[in-house]
Structure 1
């Protein structure tokens, strides 16, 4: 009897191995088969235009009173003077003084329009880091390989890239099928409440519903997905929400010479330690699961074997993803304590302690559920929790014509790029624009250097000239579809 059981188990294992190997071998690519094509844009002029755009100090600061809006006005004048054929062909309207809508009328009035969005404000240079820049942050310096300065990655490159593409098409007498809208916001770096939010209101008032919007977000990165040697272009089909959890404790204070065994500071510290130790549940689902569905067929065999059989290996995959902060962020709502308030004198026990925790919320998690989970993890009735903020955006389709158009445009520039959906862990203006579009996609069509994310809001922001010029090609392909 024992022999039959062992043989039965052995047979099942052999069948399991054969089935999983077969699934890996038969995995079908999700990448569209397209032909590479490059259009004869004026590359020197395009590089010069981005360089000049960088020179305007359109810096957004948290205190809007400190913003030099004269630079914003000068920048908008620069766009009009630099792209006269575009501004003559397209309808142009200014919204809330500094944001702009450009409408390119299509041939078919019944076709649903699309929107390409970018912002032209930039973050300040951190005080004390000015001397660390190899080139001045607003020099627009062009050398043999790079264009330097604030906005080359985030996000004047999007503004100039789309205008260069439309300039080429207009001068080539091309007319799009549907209406195309360009939306240029002026305050994305501080939330977009006066830019993208007002532009959204503009579309609502005109009762215009876009087929999709394409905003900044993912990019083309090499070495991002394990087992994939080719560069991967990740399109954000959703973005995590951002919420603030306020933890507070009240109780008697007194002199520090007679502390209780558990002070308010100690109690709150213990609560935070419990949250960091236990964490929210992780799940490979939604955009993260789709990321691997799109990339698994392109992986080397061992990785393909694992990721094409997620039903079997999900616990292993989850453990791998949770081992690094960057990948842990795509499988769970994250907990980041950022501010702690308690006491003002070293010999007095504070009567109140308060901690601020930033939560980046996964799709499917509600603020109410997160609060219940935090209360359970902390397990202390004296620690009060209040959560306020935004839940994650809705998840856009990966089977739609819109998503496939973006895929095709990427691969029409470079057919070696693997294009896949993902969950964007940061925030963008699309949190506003998603209200006026059936789908919202977050993708900047640029091949990034390995340290580009650090440069984006940090020191020595720059873009490779080749990467910038390829982004223009992407926009041309997308618009011609």
Structure 2
């Protein structure tokens, strides 16, 4: 009896100690959010609205088949910029790289310091054929109605181009002069990889010996209901972007008549391979940018969630289970698998001699193409299926403890004082990956507060932005240029 009491006392002591330690850890985590200095930027809203509205009307569409580009529209857009921002084009150095990529240089008072670069793109994705009638406003009308600006590019990413130029124009009119040089770089083929736009700008600047302190591109945004346990909107700043890999699985063998099939046909074996991959999945691992995100948002969480994330060493399995429960959060902590194309067969009563599947994978930083190939081959366990892997690995991970990141965070807080601004891992691709070559850090942030519905509209139907959110984006670009000057 005494032994049992002693065991219970020891166990109770351990439990009490555990509670004390974990509650202490929870109470000790401090906010990583800088105190906001509310922006006082005031400018002509009518002019700003008119400029974005007009910018949308130019059909600067990127096609996978570059022969479909209508470069007359791109020429007209460039002329529109020159006519709309005469002060910018008079006081800044301006040149066209590869005819259509735009490069502006604002010379600072101390050019010995590394410059800062802001970049966006003015090409847009096509409107899917057959969906035109689903738009409430013509996708290239630039209609201003109900407090919104409508059309392709209002979110992705003419808002960035126009927002930056509006901010530069404002600062020039205010007599502001940056200490370090500032570059503004606008690509024209980001939607298909940026090889002829951003990549050519990078090569040009590399030849000139330019190294940036940081480059800021589109990417993350201020998103509502993105992090469990956080009531405020969260501004996510991409410090890296996942790699994009295409895996091709193919098998060849005898076909034959469908009346006498083998137990395992070519289609069946490829389908089985895909099913194995979806059932297995890459393991989740809370590391890198995903871990950084939660270090920044944990202090702002409700107590229960804060308690869990403050004691990650004890609760990591619970955290992983929570994050793996939703596709958006699962993508933060693992390489993802998405079968996208299946090709097999031409006749309903003939077994195909070949079956092929294509899988798009988005790679976590640290995972290599070799890792992916090995994982697929070991998981499907079928020597007759040929696996080919091509693509790019994740970009480098930029600093979150540097003045560069903190200046972006401060600028965002100055405009969105109720937002929690944190680093994260960007799932999609951007032109920022090209600038890794010539920049100490690359960040990805579109300074607009958006919803999950807005995310779907970016490449979908009824793309639009509220006037208020667009004007806040301009204010952010003003603030970030001022912060960079500090």
TM-score (norm 2): 0.97
Pick from 305, 316, 320: which aligns with 2:307?
Answer: 305
1:233-261 CA distances to partner (integer Å, 9 max, x unpaired)? 00000101101111111222222222211
Distance 2:157 2:309 in 1: 34
Out of 124, 127, 139, the position equivalent to 2:126 is: 124
Q: Residues of 2 paired with 1:267 and 1:255: CA distance?
A: 17
In 2, the alpha carbon distance for the partners of 1:66 and 1:414 equals: 40
What is the match of residue 270 of structure 1?
272
Offset of 1:351 from its aligned partner?
2.2
1:144 shift after superposition: 4.0
> Any conservation in 2 of the 1:58–1:71 contact (CA below 8 Å)?
yes
Tell me which of 335, 352, 355 is aligned to 1:353: 355
Contact 1:108 1:177 in 2 (8 A): yes
Matched residues in 2 for 1:258 and 1:144: separation? 63
Per-residue CA distance 1:15-42 (angstroms, 9 max, x = gap): 1111111111221000112321221211
Shifted more, 56-65 versus 213-222: the winner is 56-65
Give the counterpart of 2:162 among 160, 175, 198: 160
Q: Does residue 110 of structure 1 match 2:112?
A: yes
- Quote the RMSD (CA, aligned, Å): 1.1
Q: Distance in 2 between matches of 1:342 and 1:448?
A: 40
**What does residue range 78-477 of structure 1 map to in structure 2 within 5 Å?**
78-477=80-479
The separation in 1 between residues aligned to 2:154 and 2:326, in whole angstroms, is: 28
Measure, in 1, the Cα distance between the counterparts of 2:106 and 2:246: 40
Partners of 2:395 and 2:408 in 1: CA distance: 20
Deviation at 1:6, TM superposition (A): 2.1
Cα distance in 1 between the residues matched to 2:146 and 2:356: 52
Q: Deviations over 1:2-59 (max 9, x none)?
A: 3222211111111111111111122100011232122121111111111111111111
Structure 2: unaligned runs, 5 residues or longer: none
Partner residue of 2:39 out of 37, 40, 46: 37
Offset at residue 178 of structure 1 (A): 0.5
Secondary structure, counterpart of 2:186 in structure 1: strand
TM-score (norm 1): 0.98
Distance 1:296 1:251, change over 3 A: same
User: Which of these residues, 51, 61, 64, is aligned with residue 62 of structure 1?
Assistant: 64
Instruction: Report the alpha carbon displacement of residue 175 of structure 1 after superposing the two structures with TM.
Output: 0.6
CA–CA separation in structure 2 for the residues paired with 1:467 and 1:93: 30
Q: Deviation at 1:364? A: 0.8
Structure 1: gaps of 5 or more residues: none
Asked if structure 2 preserves the Cα contact closer than 8 Å seen for 1:38 and 1:413, the reply is no
**By how many angstroms is 1:80 displaced?**
0.5
Which stretch has the larger CA shift, 339-348 or 58-67? 339-348
The alignment of Structure 1 onto Structure 2 pairs a total of residues equal to 481
Deviation of the 1:349 alpha carbon: 2.1
TM-superposed CA distance for 1:206, in Å, is 0.9
